[in-house]
Amino acid sequence: MKKNIQLVKTLLKYTFSIVPIVAGLDKFSNILTNWSQYISEGFAGLLPFDAATFMMIVGVIEIVAGVLVFTKTKIGALIVAAWLTGISLTLLFSWSYVDVAVRDLVIAIAAFSLAKLSEEKL
């Protein structure tokens, strides 16, 4: 049982390290998607710079979060869970990309689960 729990923890740790880093890097290249499309027009209008610049800032935050998950798993996983919850709430409040919002909430729960697993000595 302990071995299975360790396997799950390791899989989650690498997933929540690699995926945010890749998504963060993609904010600079937009190979996976045009990230600016996820910013509501109302929010974009409040920014002191264009949406692409905002997404690059988001990318840096995501890269740092991924590195934190790898180096300080518990705190990094909590940051990723909070970050994904914030994204979900933003999307739900604007009622755009509701499917992405729900998906991100589920992923946030998985990140929170990694944080809880990281409290235990396995």
In this prediction, residue 111 has a pLDDT band, given cuts at 50, 70 and 90, of: very high
pLDDT at 122: 57
Is 90 exceeded by the pLDDT of residue 2? no
| 35-60 pLDDT tens trace | 998 888 888 888 999 999 999 999 99
Instruction: Work out the end-to-end distance of the chain between its first and last CA atoms, rounded to an integer number of angstroms.
Output: 10
Contact 39, 57 (CB under 8 A): no
Q: Domain coordinates of the chain in residue numbers?
A: 2-117
What average pLDDT does the segment 81-102 reach? 92
**Is this prediction's pTM over 0.75?**
yes
Give residue 120's pLDDT band: very low, low, confident or very high (50, 70, 90): confident
Give how far Cα 87 sits from Cα of 104, 117, 122, Å.
7, 23, 32
Q: How many CB atoms lie within 10 A of CB 107?
A: 19
Q: What is the dihedral of CA 59, 60, 61, 67, to 10 degrees?
A: 110
pLDDT by residue (tens digit) across 12-31? Answer: 999 999 999 999 999 999 99
